[in-house]
Amino acid sequence: MSIRFTPLEISRSQLSQSNIMTHNEIKQQLRFLGNPERAEHSKKFFKTGKGEYAEGDQFFGCTVPEIRIIAKENKNTSLVELGKLLEDEMHECRLCALVILVERFKKADEEKRGEIVDFYLAHTHRINNWDLVDVSAHKILGEWLKDKNRAILYSLADDDLLWNQRIAVIATFAFIREDDFTEILALSEKFLTHKHDLMHKACGWMLREVGKRDELTLTDFLDKHAHKMPRTMLRYSIEKFSPEKRMHYLKK
């Protein structure tokens, strides 16, 4: 079963803010910026075909900079309306909601940050593509957990939902940036036998970030596990090594 966290209860006062745009109004802004050719390209790029990881996802064809502009203009959107954006079938609506959440989290006090994290965890089933995870997991959940118990990461990692697993891995980027490698080493070891290349890429990327800060820690991990690492995970993790050093580990 997939984890479904208890959604955050929204106070009625948030619904009465007169200067807040609705989900449908923001969606119309995004629709206006859409490009049909770009939308078709996005469908292929993000693997939306039958049986693929993002089967059925829909796109307007907006660029990320355009989405960020819309997000900035709607930074005060209520959590109720952001929830509707996250539940929307259009990919750009979900991305816009997450960009707003990230920016709000940066400026929030501890109490408001806690509310945003609760909201985020309540909607992980709609953070359902790699770009949605990568734009938000370390900037919200990872930042929140830097000085807190991190058991939730292992609950996410144990879940059968691919996106929860990727959120757990990408969230560790916040720790890695402060030379804290415990969680990414544990999660990378856990996912050595994972079948999906999106997880191989995520772990390899985070391991590469470890190596950029502490090469010895990365080589210690590789010396133990390179022989059984998925090829993609290994290639991503050694990308910054010299050609000779890369070949050494690839031969394993």
For residue 133, pLDDT beyond 90: yes
Residue 58's DSSP bridge partners are 90
Shared domain for 159 and 75, answered yes or no, is no
Same domain for 160 and 123:
no
Residue 142 lies in a domain: no
DSSP class per residue in 17-53: -TTPPPHHHHHHHHHHH--HHHHHHHHHHTT-STTST
Q: Residue 90's beta-bridge partner residues?
A: 58
| pLDDT for 108 beyond 80 | yes
Reported confidence tier of residue 243, pLDDT bands at 50, 70, 90: very high
- Answer whether residue 214 is part of any domain: yes
Mean pLDDT of the chain: 92
Q: Are residues 67 and 151 in the same domain?
A: no
- Which of 136, 146, 148, 131 is CA-nearest to residue 101? 136
Does the residue 129 lie in any domain? yes
Last residue of one domain, picked from the residues 83, 109, 136: 136
Among 89, 115, 136, the domain-final residue is 136
Q: Do both 9 and 132 map to the same domain?
A: yes
Whether 124 and 152 map to the same domain: the answer is no
pLDDT of residue 112: 96
Q: pLDDT tens digit string along 158-180? A: 999 999 999 999 999 999 999 99
Domain-located, residue 168: yes
User: Closest Cα partner for 162 from 188, 131, 196?
Assistant: 196
pLDDT category of residue 7 using cuts at 50, 70 and 90: very low
Q: Would you tell me how many other CB atoms lie within 10 Å of the CB of residue 245?
A: 14
3-class SS of residue 221:
helix
Domain assignment present for residue 242? The answer is yes
At 157, which CATH number? 1.25.10.90
Residue 109 covered by a domain: yes
67 with 168, same domain: the answer is no
Residues 5 and 130 in one domain: yes
Which of 107, 136, 165 finishes a domain? 136
Q: Do 90 and 194 fall within a single domain? A: no
Query: Please, which pLDDT band fits residue 19 given cuts at 50, 70 and 90?
Result: low
In a domain, 141, yes or no: no
**Could you tell me if 53 and 99 lie in one domain?**
yes
Confidence of residue 6 (pLDDT cuts 50, 70, 90): very low
Do 104 and 74 share a structural domain? yes
- At residue 14 the predicted structure's pLDDT band, cuts being 50, 70 and 90, is very low
Residue 60: which residues within 8 A CB-CB, separation 6 or more? 30, 31, 33, 34, 35, 39, 90, 91, 92
Question: Domain check: are 160 and 225 in the same one?
Answer: yes
Domain count, the chain: 2
pLDDT for 70: 95
103 and 74, same structural domain?
A: yes
Confidence of residue 148 (pLDDT cuts 50, 70, 90): very high
Residue 247 to residue 252: CA distance in whole angstroms: 9
Structure confidence at residue 2 as a pLDDT band (50, 70, 90): very low
Better-predicted residue by pLDDT, 4 or 129: 129
CA–CA gap between residue 5 and residue 68 (Å, rounded): 28
pLDDT of residue 232: 97
Domain that includes residue 8, residue range? 1-136
Dist. CA 240–CA 60, nearest whole Å: 36
Which tens digits make up the pLDDT trace of 172-229?
Answer: 999 999 999 999 999 999 999 999 999 999 999 999 999 999 999 999 999 999 999 9
